[in-house]
Amino acid sequence: MANTYLAGWEGARMAFWDAALGTPAYVPIACITSRSEANTTNTTEKVNVCTQGKVVTTANSVTSTVSLSGEVVTSDSLDDLRVLQDSLAEQTFRVYRGTGTSTPVYFVGTITNLNAEYPTGEGEDATFSMDVTINGDYLTVDPKA
């Protein structure tokens, strides 16, 4: 079996949909330095006399989470991410998967975890990591269009 290398999102850029702007638009927020994805099957279990005391597990749904790390784009980027998380609402994100890529992907989801790091060294950039629970799949068409 041949090894297949799947490239990451090198040079990826991320923006979020901001409906609060005078003219709603995508606002650049980060340059992504790493990305990971996780899918969890949500199940229910039951045990009763009808199952003869054995656990019966039923798959109900799948929760998809994307974890992103990156460098902030502006001094307001981390504050913007905090506001998005504090809203407790799903957000629409646009990601260009790499440098020179002109076709973005979109996803709608809720920020479930947000961390920021502010290094003290000269010339070091603030970074962040966050987890977004995706509602649906990656989209190739802008859901806000």
Per the domain annotation, does 6 fall within a domain?
Answer: no
12's tokens: 């990826």
Number of structural domains in the chain: 1
CATH number for position 74: 2.40.30
Parent domain of 85 = 13-134
Per the domain annotation, does 18 fall within a domain?
Answer: yes
Q: What pLDDT sits at residue 7?
A: 61
Indicate if the pLDDT at residue 136 is higher than 90. no
Per the domain annotation, does 4 fall within a domain?
Answer: no
- pLDDT tens for each residue of 16-73: 998 887 788 998 888 888 888 899 999 999 998 888 889 999 999 999 999 999 888 8
Per the domain annotation, does 39 fall within a domain?
Answer: yes
Q: What pLDDT sits at residue 77?
A: 85
Return the closest-CA partner of residue 94 out of 5, 9, 8, 6.
Answer: 9
Distance CA 115, CA 130 (A): 6
Per the domain annotation, does 140 fall within a domain?
Answer: no
Q: Is the dihedral of CA 70, 73, 78, 81 positive or negative?
A: negative
Q: Across residues 97-110, what is the average pLDDT?
A: 81
82 in the Ramachandran plot: left (φ > 0), alpha (ψ -120 to 50) or beta?
alpha
Per the domain annotation, does 144 fall within a domain?
Answer: no
Residues 6+ apart with CB under 8 A from 2: none
Q: Across residues 3-9, what is the average pLDDT?
A: 58
Mean pLDDT is lowest, of 42-56, 88-102, 110-124, for: 88-102
Per the domain annotation, does 8 fall within a domain?
Answer: no
